[in-house]
Homo-oligomer: A and B are copies of this chain.
Amino acid sequence: LADVARRAGVSVATVSKVLNGHDDVAAATRKRVEVVLGELGYRSRTSYRSAERRPSVLLLLGNSEAVDPYSASVLDGVLAEAERQDVSVTVSHVPTPRQVDPVRLAQEVVRGGHEGAVVVTPVFADSDLAYLIRRNIAVAMIDPVDVSHDEGVSVGATNWNGGLSGTQYLVSRGHRRIGFVSGPKDRLVARARLHGYRAALELAQIPFDPRLVRYGSFLVEDGYALGGELLDLDERPTAIFATSDSAALGVMAAARDRGMDVPGDVSVMGFDDTWVASYVVPPLTTVRQPLGEMGAEAVRAVLAQARGESLAVRRVELNTELIVRASVGPPNLLN
């Protein structure tokens, strides 16, 4: 060390700080020391070992094939909050269909030395969750399929309100025949949005027509297929509420393939307000859910549990908000 210190023109203490990865060395000084270390053939990887490893959280994305805009938005929020808390994030995919094996999850958390896991849109049985709680595995779920289990910690959006306000906006523009491209029948968020839609119809005294509702998986392919089915009905809807932006993009593509203009021939409403919403043509009128904030909140909930804090609230719902752009117009009653 003395040799390095002499050549770099710094104290031995400074060399030692650099080797130990301390931050209180000026960048230029550190660089000078590093250069000398390199010249002396210093190659050890162990120099930083004494420094403590950053804590970490595991993020399980609920989509096994691709990082869609929904997951990307959640990931953004998780990464930003982790950075604020000086925590690192390990990302994994949950195998389709979102069914989390609690034993594997527990293994991954403990083996990886993680504080806990943020799990996006998982399928958990009550017994699975109980298993994790018994094992003291800190978990925060984002929009789990089912939140019947009281014990789990979860973050979501006000989906019912979102379904209500989106549908009410369509009604306010004059639509009465409104198609609904839903998420999976068994998913809580999908049910909540569908019930919001039904409530808005009731308030406007529009009879509910089950033929106008289709169930998919929130993906663009489903929007395309199910939106196409709705547009091919003899008495087709004048507006379609697709309950994800991705599905709304699919509906717009289906309209285009049929030579229909959006919103001239059919209005389209989305859900999520991911980045694509403002850049598709026409820009998408949609119900915003604060996905980044939901990711950040989930990280905070995991870390709080890992610290042994008892959470005052085990289910947090963040506000949805109607974002008006250009994909919704008055109904075209001539079609």
Contacts and interface: CB of A to CB of B under 8 A. Distances in A.
A72 to B, nearest CB: 4
Chain B CB within 10 Å — which of A52, A91, A108 has the most?
A: A91
Q: How many copies does the complex hold?
A: 2
Interface residues of A, number: 69
A43 B134 contact: yes
A217 to B, nearest CB: 15
A45 interface: yes
10 contacts: A34-B103, A38-B130, A51-B111, A52-B111, A65-B76, A66-B72, A79-B91, A83-B92, A90-B90, A91-B91
Interface in A102-133: 103, 106-108, 110-113, 127, 130-131
Interface string A28-64: 0010001101100011111111011110100100000
A16 interface: no
A97 B128 CA distance: 43
Contacts of A282: 256
A38 B130 CA distance: 9
A89 to B, nearest CB: 5
Contact of A280 (B51, B68, B281): B281
B112 A45 contact: no
A136 interface: yes
B67 A76 contact: yes
A228 to B, nearest CB: 13
A7 interface: no
B103 A75 contact: no
